[in-house]
């Protein structure tokens, strides 16, 4: 296990370099000049050139990449072109907010997906199975942003039950575990949870149906084991694959919540990316994409280790 862990960590180094190179090139080949985000349209040309030199944007791209990579290696993601603040100062707050939202959405999706999938797999071909499969297909098919707007219209505008925007009262991003803050989390978390719910439902349904048809389950039934005992045997055999699926979904939620966070003005990495895109804020774009990519790599490693711990039959070469 230790050798496997060290090997995976070493594999993450070229992945990090590749991701850094890709995100660096993508934001530089996009149309537009990032200097336009921080200087007025009628600014003198000598002032524009001076700012370009101050930010190092007058150097060749390979040199810019080398300088940026050297700073990243020391934990320095640079300063925002739009605000002048260190990228890490804004990014650290945004990552925590997105992680809070993604974990809540993943928990909702995992619990509902396991319930619906378990029922569908246990009662194949029945009305329960058809309803659960229909919910799963609907959850995977519904666009996030559309569902978010529908929930806002229904629960915020018409019923006035839940707030529609922000992460706290008055637009505050400081988090406290009270109802005023949790109520801001409900709608975006439910919106984000529908896709993992659908995927987990379909996955668990297939796993449960396969396990119930295996010989050892028939043997347990023949020995007179109770339904609850058989249930726990099914759970233990289905858990590794279910955890792998929800772990990957958590990574997708961290990186794919930009539209939902924009709809609900949730101050996370998606909202930060959206603002940086419109402002052509290169340091924020590069730093956010790199951190999210490395989070996904680390999450995959954790999922592999948890799978191995839950199921000793899984051997990592």
Q: Write down the mean pLDDT value for the chain.
A: 79
> What's the pTM value of the predicted model, to 2 decimals?
0.79
Residue 313 phi/psi, 5-degree rounding, is -70, -20
Look at domain 93-310 and name its CATH class: mainly alpha
| Own/partner pairs, 119-127, CB within 8 angstroms, 24+ separation | 120/201, 120/204, 120/205, 120/208, 121/204, 121/205, 121/206, 121/207, 121/208, 121/209, 121/212, 122/208, 122/212, 124/209
Domain positions in the chain? 2-73, 93-310
Express each pLDDT in 234-280 by its tens digit. Answer: 777 777 777 778 777 887 787 767 788 888 888 888 888 888 877 77
Residue with tokens 């609850």: 228
Q: In this structure, are residues 291 and 78 in contact, taking their beta carbons and an 8 Å threshold? A: no
pLDDT of residue 114: 87
Residue 307 DSSP label: H
pLDDT of residue 313: 62
CA–CA separation, 31 and 24 (whole Å) = 14
Contacts of residue 288, Cβ cutoff 8 Å, sequence gap at least 6: 87, 91, 94, 269, 272, 273, 276
pLDDT of residue 34: 66
pLDDT at 317 over 50: no
The 3-state DSSP class for residue 243 equals helix
Residue with tokens 């229904």: 154
Indicate the pLDDT class of residue 310, thresholds 50, 70 and 90: low
């Amino acid at each position: 296990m230790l050798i496997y862990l060290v090997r995976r960590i070493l594999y993450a180094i070229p992945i990090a370099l590749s991701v850094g190179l890709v995100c660096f090139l993508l934001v530089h080949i996009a149309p537009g000049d990032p200097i336009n985000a921080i200087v007025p349209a009628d600014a003198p040309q000598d002032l524009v050139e001076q700012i370009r030199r101050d930010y190092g944007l007058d150097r060749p791209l390979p040199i810019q990449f080398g300088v940026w990579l050297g700073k990243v290696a020391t934990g320095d993601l640079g300063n925002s072109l739009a605000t002048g603040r260190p990228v890490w100062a804004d990014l650290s707050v945004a990552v925590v907010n997105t992680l809070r939202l993604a974990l809540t959405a993943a928990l909702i999706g995992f619990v509902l997906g396991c319930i619906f999938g378990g029922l569908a797999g246990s009662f194949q071909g029945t009305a329960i199975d058809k309803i659960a499969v229909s919910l799963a297909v609907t959850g995977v098919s519904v666009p996030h942003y559309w569902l978010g707007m529908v929930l806002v219209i229904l629960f915020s505008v018409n019923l006035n039950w839940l707030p529609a925007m922000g992460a706290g009262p008055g637009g505050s991003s400081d988090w406290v575990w009270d109802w005023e803050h949790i109520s801001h989390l409900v709608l975006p978390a439910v919106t984000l949870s529908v896709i993992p719910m659908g995927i987990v439902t379909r996955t668990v349904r297939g796993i449960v149906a396969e396990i119930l048809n295996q010989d050892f389950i028939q043997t347990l039934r023949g020995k007179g084991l109770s339904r609850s005992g058989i249930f726990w045997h099914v759970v233990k055999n289905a858990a590794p694959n279910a955890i792998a699926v929800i772990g990957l979904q958590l990574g997708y939620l961290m990186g794919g919540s930009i539209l939902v966070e924009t709809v609900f003005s949730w101050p996370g990495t998606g909202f930060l990316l959206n603002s940086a895109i419109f402002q052509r804020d290169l340091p924020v774009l590069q730093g956010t994409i790199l951190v999210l990519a490395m989070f996904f790599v680390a999450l995959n490693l954790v999922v592999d280790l948890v799978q191995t711990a839950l199921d000793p039959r899984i051997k990592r070469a």
